[in-house]
Structure 1
């Protein structure tokens, strides 16, 4: 059963976190293109699509910690420091996505929906979104490394 849970956990991570990471990373550059007036119609459509990808796959991403807890429980490592750290970093990444990135994308998409983008009151939005996305990606990269290395684990490599 452990192998099944681990397989589902890894598949969920690849299928759910990967698209969010890529789409969220592409969003600020597309927003910059829109603000510059380059291909505004195409940029609006792309922003909506990228935001939809982030929202949908963020919801699917809930499966990652669920299968992770099932895997950790079957391995008997729920109290290990590397796992607790990974859980905290995963919660931080989820918080950055749900509380900062997605709402900022919502605002950008809503403001860009008009006939001419009126994003002037928040000129630093693309830069802030790029920074937040970088933090999100760095948190997930750290979790991935911890899941592979498992420092202090008796079951690690």
Structure 2
């Protein structure tokens, strides 16, 4: 059972969290921006690509709930719920979810609804970077497991 839960946890993390991390990072590059009158949209900007990345952000993030669910069940099965690295990982995972739901996804929607200047997209890029940093820290916690009890 533990091997199955660990496999689900890791594979879902790679596919769904990794997919949403890539989509949030690439979105600002492809979403159309407001251009001055007579200006041309840069070649790499594509509304179709931005819409696809927005859908990936939403879909993969919803499916990404599998990751903390499987991880929490695994922690219960292994009797590790009281270990500090599990607590920290849960807090950071919740923070990443809140950041995605309350900042990234709504800002992507706004950028698709009304093209903004590049300057208005910078905060979205920065927030996506923080989102990815939170996941990187969670991965390090999963590998290093500070304060873990002895055993697997």
TM-score normalized with structure 2 length:
0.90
The equivalent of 1:83 in structure 2 is 86
Distance 1:43 1:156, change over 3 A: farther
1:24-56 CA distance string (max 9 Å, x none): 10011223x64451138x611111011011000
Aligned length: 147
Which of structure 1's runs of 4+ aligned residues deviate more than 2 A? 33-36, 154-157
The 2-side partners of 1:19 and 1:74 are apart by 28
Please, which runs of 5 or more residues in structure 1 have no aligned partner?
A: 112-116
CA contact (8 A) 1:149 1:156 kept: no
The 2-side partners of 1:97 and 1:4 are apart by 28
The equivalent of 2:100 in structure 1 is 97
CA contact (8 A) 2:83 2:149 kept: no
Please, which runs of 5 or more residues in structure 2 have no aligned partner?
A: 36-40
The equivalent of 1:139 in structure 2 is 134
The equivalent of 1:129 in structure 2 is 124
Deviation at 1:156, TM superposition (A): 6.2
Deviation at 1:2, TM superposition (A): 1.0
The secondary structure found in structure 1 opposite 2:149 is coil
TM-score normalized with structure 1 length:
0.87
Deviation at 1:152, TM superposition (A): 1.6
What are the within-5 Å matches in structure 2 for residues 8-23 of structure 1? 8-23=8-23
What are the within-5 Å matches in structure 2 for residues 7-156 of structure 1? 7-31=7-31, 34-35=33-34, 37-39=41-43, 43-111=46-114, 117=115, 119-120=116-117, 124-155=119-150
The 1-side partners of 2:109 and 2:82 are apart by 38
The secondary structure found in structure 2 opposite 1:39 is coil
